[in-house]
Homo-oligomer: A and B are copies of this chain.
Amino acid sequence: MNNPFSFELIKTDPVGARLGRVVTPHGAFDTPVFMPVGTRATVKGMTPEALRGVGAEIILANTYHLYLRPGHEVVAGLGGLHTFMHWDGPILTDSGGFQVWSLGKLRKIDETGVSFASHLDGAKCVLTPESAIEVQEALGADIIMPLDECTPHPSTRQYAVNSMNLTHRWARRCKEAKKRNDQALFGIVQGGMYEDLRAESAEAMTAIGFDGYAIGGLSVGEDKALMHGMAAAALARLPAGSPRYLMGVGTPEDLVWGVGAGIDMFDCVMPTRNARNGTLFTSRGKLVIKNARYERDPRPVEEDCGCYTCSNYSRAYLRHLYMAQELLSSVLNTTHNLYYYIKLMRDMREAISNGRFGAWSKGFAEAYSEGDIQP
């Protein structure tokens, strides 16, 4: 069987934004795309039908979390991730490298792989490039990721070089370990905050050859200009005919910048996590629903938003649910935020398609402000 994964680059806008289409064994999706994060085989508070309702086409799950609980063999025994979580669309699993990195002192990295203490019960665990692939083959996502080291920021140049080279060696081992031919494997570009290393890493990954290329280790505390520079250095060396995925990014403004820079795929916990914290995204910026000024506000979060939440509920009701710490608060806020993020991507695809992405992104930037919107 040939690998059913494919990427078609449909159009590149003069500013560099790309329109594409990815085909996977569980269906196709248009790029640029935002992928909601379903860490533990569930996008928090959303049924798969509700995810479809907000326009989600591909979702993320996390290898590290599912490896620890319920265990990849449990998931495999139940028919794999798609059946387990009742989502029949494309899924991408992150390798767990970032989560292990986040454990800080609880983890140890050497040539073999990473050893760490489970955040659940302290049990000693090991992930190697080979076992990360084995776990992801058991989970059965459509796109899988190699084990990498997320280079800390700040890092010395020497640390960044060593870390990058380790990620390259691991990437080769992952590619060799891969047995299933119905899953796409992406490479992950590292290189810390050094432009030349980013370029070198992109070239090394391209030389190994993957179905797509991710840029990892960004949005880890650096300023925006630095992030943009690092991404640009990598993007310039990645093959145009493959999808490019910027991991863990970001704000609506980051997405607009990223699409303009030529990124095709994004994921971030921001829309879902912020929803649970009562922060809602609108075309004018963030709306913090707990603010007293919304107590009697009959308007929806955003007047012309087509989401289920805005179609049926007032800011006053959403504020009430948030203040009362009601479950429905998270559900309705997540519904709005994911709809907003996914519609933002759809709007950008349309702008690219019409050859007016530059003008569109100017309009976006004029309307959107970083702070809390005013009434």
| Contacts from A to B (Cβ < 8 Å) | 40-42, 44-47, 69-70, 74, 77-79, 84-86, 295-296, 298, 308, 312-314, 316-317, 319-321, 323-324, 326-328, 330-332
Contact = CB atoms under 8 A, between A and B. Distances in A.
Nearest to A325: B40
A87 to B, nearest CB: 10
Q: Looking at A296, A317, A330, which has the most chain B CB atoms within 10 Å of its CB?
A: A317
A316 to B, nearest CB: 5
Nearest to A48: B312
A252 B86 CA distance: 29
Contact of A42 (B46, B74, B312, B321): B321
A96 to B, nearest CB: 16
B47 A328 contact: yes
A317 B45 contact: no
A324 B69 contact: yes
Contact of A327 (B84, B320, B331): B331
A332 to B, nearest CB: 8
Nearest to A46: B328
Closest 6 CB pairs of A and B: A45-B327, A70-B320, A86-B312, A42-B328, A40-B324, A44-B327
B77 A296 contact: yes
Contacts of A298: 77-79
A41 B320 contact: yes
B44 A78 contact: no
Contact of A316 (B42, B74, B296, B326): B74
